[in-house]
Amino acid sequence: MRMLWAAIAGGLFGLGLIVSGMTNTRKVLGWLDFFGDWDPTLAFVMGGAILPMAAAWAFARRRRPVLGGRFPEANTSGPDRALALGAVLFGMGWGLVGLCPGPALASLSFGGWQGLVFLIAMAAGMYLAPPIKRRLTKPA
């Protein structure tokens, strides 16, 4: 059951990404191009996604997941060095090509060799990250 519902959620996520145009790097780079020909579409995507998600968080209060277990606790420790440095690196990479992890996976079937090269490099980055993160989160 967990597998089936995970696949359905992933599929709906992918459908939303392709319908919204977020698998098109031109639209993503257009959103980031605040000093040029700015494309506001991504703000509508974010806004549209946050609405049902906020309702889900509200509904999750004092309840349990349908398939058992517990809802993830909020990380209340506040922003730290790792969060900030990670976001800077991620934003730079996002701005270079216009792909982030969701759309990179969603476009795998039609993104050509370019998408594959990006995805392999992204997987390598994910593989290399844990030791760097450990060093950053060690108390100074």
User: Scanning residues 81 to 100, which ones bind other proteins (CB under 8 A)?
Assistant: 82-100
Residues 19-58: x/- map of binding to other proteins (CB under 8 A)?
xxxxxxxxx-x--xxxxx--xxxxxxxxxxxxxxxxxxx-
Rule CB under 8 A: is residue 139 a binding residue for other proteins? no
Rule CB under 8 A: is residue 140 a binding residue for other proteins? no
The nearest distance, CB 12 to other proteins, in angstroms, is: 4
The nearest distance, CB 85 to other proteins, in angstroms, is: 6
Rule CB under 8 A: is residue 110 a binding residue for other proteins? yes
Please, are residues 18 and 25 in contact by the beta-carbon 8 Å criterion? no
Within 13 Å of residue 44, how many CA atoms lie on the same side as its CB?
10
Restricting to residues 2-21, which ones interact with other proteins according to CB under 8 A?
Answer: 2-21
Task: Measure the CA dihedral 85/72/62/8, to 10°.
Answer: 110
Between 59 and 139, whose beta carbon lies closer to other proteins? 59
The nearest distance, CB 140 to other proteins, in angstroms, is: 16
Dist. CA 126–CA 1, nearest whole Å:
28
Positive or negative torsion for Cα 96, 101, 103, 108: positive
Rule CB under 8 A: is residue 62 a binding residue for other proteins? no
Task: Measure the CA dihedral 56/61/67/71, to 10°.
Answer: 90
The nearest distance, CB 137 to other proteins, in angstroms, is: 9
Strand stretches in 55-106, DSSP E: none
